[in-house]
């Protein structure tokens, strides 16, 4: 057990930076689907030479807990963008910088649905717009169903714990995109 000393604000900030804070109000999958978080920043490319991607890169670097997680999150985002998606940072009135603690991966098409994946750079966690039946054929231990999965649109999680998990997350993202794209 680790004992942390500090003011309430300092402890909350420490937990947020380490990905251990749980703020059910900022859980995007719990929000009313009619009130999807408004995007503060959107990009369709992740390049150090691209002015539009700088805020997103800065967001990942300032919220990630370590270098390996940062690398895996950025690898996932770059490869997800190759699947004709957009990456957005949501806005929040509750955070110090006006952003949420996650990124939204959306289909790069007219908006009919919310994000297909929410990515938390702090711990490399993904929450995907998939139901239990969408992953019934997957036995990988990195793919988990959320508590109450049978009643959720975003029922599947996958942590980017290694490079194989990134590949798995990209495959799951492809499945989620197939669900929201017109046939």
Q: What is the pLDDT of residues 19-66, one digit of tens each?
A: 655 544 455 555 544 445 555 555 565 655 677 788 888 899 999 989
pTM as predicted? 0.74
pLDDT reported for residue 24: 44
Q: What is the pLDDT of residues 1-16, one digit of tens each?
A: 466 666 766 666 776 6
pLDDT in tens, 120-143: 999 999 999 999 999 999 999 999
Give the model confidence (pLDDT) of 80-101 as tens digits: 999 999 898 887 877 777 778 8
DSSP code string of the chain: -----S-HHHHHHHHHHHT----GGG-GGGS-GGGPPPEEEEES---TT-GGGHHHHHHHHHH-SSHHHHHHHHHHHHHHHTTTEEEEEEE-SSSSSSEEEEEEEEESSS-SS--SEEEETTTTEEEES--GGGGTT---TTEEEPTTGGG-SS-EEEE--SHHHHHHHHHHHHHHHHHHS--
């Amino acid at each position: 057990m680790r004992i942390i000393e500090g003011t309430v604000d300092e402890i909350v900030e420490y937990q947020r930076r380490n990905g251990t804070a749980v703020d059910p109000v900022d859980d995007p999958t719990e929000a009313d689907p009619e009130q999807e978080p408004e995007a503060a920043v959107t990009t369709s490319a992740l390049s150090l030479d691209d002015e539009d991607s700088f805020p997103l890169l800065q967001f990942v670097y300032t919220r990630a807990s370590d270098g390996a997680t940062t690398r895996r999150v950025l690898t996932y985002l770059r490869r997800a963008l190759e699947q004709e998606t957009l990456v957005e940072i949501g806005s929040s009135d509750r955070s110090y910088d006006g952003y949420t603690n996650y990124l939204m991966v959306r289909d790069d098409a007219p908006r009919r649905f919310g994000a297909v994946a929410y990515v938390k750079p702090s711990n490399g966690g993904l929450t995907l717009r998939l139901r239990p039946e969408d992953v019934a054929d997957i036995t990988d231990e990195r793919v988990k169903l959320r508590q109450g999965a049978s009643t959720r649109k975003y029922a599947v999680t996958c942590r980017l714990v290694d490079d194989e998990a990134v590949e798995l997350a990209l495959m799951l993202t492809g499945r989620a995109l197939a669900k929201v794209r017109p046939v």
